[in-house]
Amino acid sequence: MNRELLGLLLEVTVAGSAAILVVLLLRRPILAWFGASIAYASWWLVPATLAAVALPATVVPTLPLPSVAMATAWGEAPARIVAAVSFDATPWVLATWVIGFVVAGWRLVAQQRRFVRSLGELCPRADGLLQSTASLGLPAVVGWRARIVLPADFERRYAPRHQQLVLCHEQVHHRRRDHWANAFVAGLRCLFWFNPLVHFAAGRFRQDQELACDAVVLTRFPGQRRAYGEALLKPQLAIEPLPVGCHWFGSHPLKERIAMLTRPLPSKPRWIAGLALVAALTLVGGWTAWAAQPGRGLPAAAPEAGEVGLAMTIKFDGKGERTESLNLPAKTPRTLEYQQDGQAWRVQVALSPLDDGTVFVVMDIHRDGVRQGQPKMVIKPASGGAIGLGERLPDGRWKGVEIELQVTLPQAG
């Protein structure tokens, strides 16, 4: 189970990082051609990719990764080698990840609580909003319930024409549930606390979120670009960003937001084309992430009394990987036949439990009717073993057959 969790964490880290890189590479061209709303929507590629990796992949019988050093028998000479136990770092890696997850989560929760405490007393207004006795980091949509909180000096800081634009901006955040998106990103930062790319992308995500919100406001008030630019110049910056919420002006570079005011908004056909492009990118990216997964293996059924469980992965000339998960009667040979690159392979295997709790493995391997070898070895249950017949070529490829295997004895009682 520990190895499965670690393997899944590695898969989602690689897939998520690839999706983030794609978005970071495309966000500037998408912003220039299709507008801020489409650039913000392109971030859907990341959760779609993560969800695709979590979906069940093609189920194939696979050889579990052993937690021991493999005993190996090469060539035709009989070998009696017992696999030696080695150090398994998996529990320590997972423990480190859990500690990092808890620490990262605690820091974000503490950051959220500090901001909420800094608001002081919140007074309801006639318009249904809340007004704080503080000013830093406000206006903002705060918390999971998305309360719009205005600063104490809201009426003094903003002229009436500015107030309408600022409130529209915060209401757009509220209606789009951007605070939920930010909470999701905060969760990803905890899950992938070890990945600097996730933390960097979180900042770019918040930037695109603000630009997209600005674009909606400008669509509704096309003649108020100058007034909106003036409102952007009057923030009281927060000391640190709000994990679950949306600042009117957070860590986003002012220059980029002001520059957007000088650009025309994309036409509706271009906006639709951009949305279609992002939808296609998300679907293709999700499918690619799912299809690229290694097949998820299901554990073999527990062997019956008098049987020995065997899991094997076989490669012929470094390719054509085949997997088997079998329960074999003790001392009774089983023959398996394969075709690879026009060659006929036959692998006969017999398992014999020994008195000391180990299993004696005997194989008889033929290619095109010619015996290649009869390797023999002793393996401890749940330990891994490897058998190779052939030679290593100068280019590093293996010419011959390679077999990784594990054995399982029936449970007592």
pLDDT in tens, 252-265: 567 788 888 888 88
How confident is residue 40, by pLDDT bands cut at 50, 70 and 90? very high
How confident is residue 69, by pLDDT bands cut at 50, 70 and 90? very low
Least confident of 75-89, 90-104, 210-224, 280-294: 75-89
Cα four-point dihedral sign 198, 202, 204, 209: positive
Tell me if residue 258 falls in helix, strand or coil: helix
φ, ψ (nearest 5 deg) of residue 344 = -100, 120
Distance CA 293, CA 287 (A): 10
Q: Residue 169's closest CA among 190, 193, 140? A: 140
pLDDT of residue 302: 56
Crossing angle of the two packed helices 196-220 and 160-176, in degrees rounded to 10: 130
Reply yes or no: is the peptide bond before residue 66 cis, omega within 30 of 0: no
**Cβ contacts of residue 287 below 8 Å, gap of 6+?**
52
Token readout for 409 is 């004895």
pLDDT of residue 195: 97
Chain-centroid distance of CA 63 in Å reads: 23
Least confident of 110-114, 129-133, 300-304, 381-385: 300-304
φ, ψ (nearest 5 deg) of residue 251 = -90, 10
Tell me if residue 162 falls in helix, strand or coil: helix
End-to-end CA distance of the chain: 23
Position 146, amino acid: A
CB 378 within 8 A of CB 388: no
pTM of the model: 0.67
Residues in the chain: 413
Mean pLDDT of 63-71: 36
pLDDT of residue 66: 38
Distance CA 232, CA 394 (A): 65
Q: Residue 21's closest CA among 41, 52, 42? A: 42
Question: Look-up: residue for tokens 């220059």?
Answer: 255
245-247 and 140-142 as β-strands: parallel, antiparallel, unpaired? antiparallel
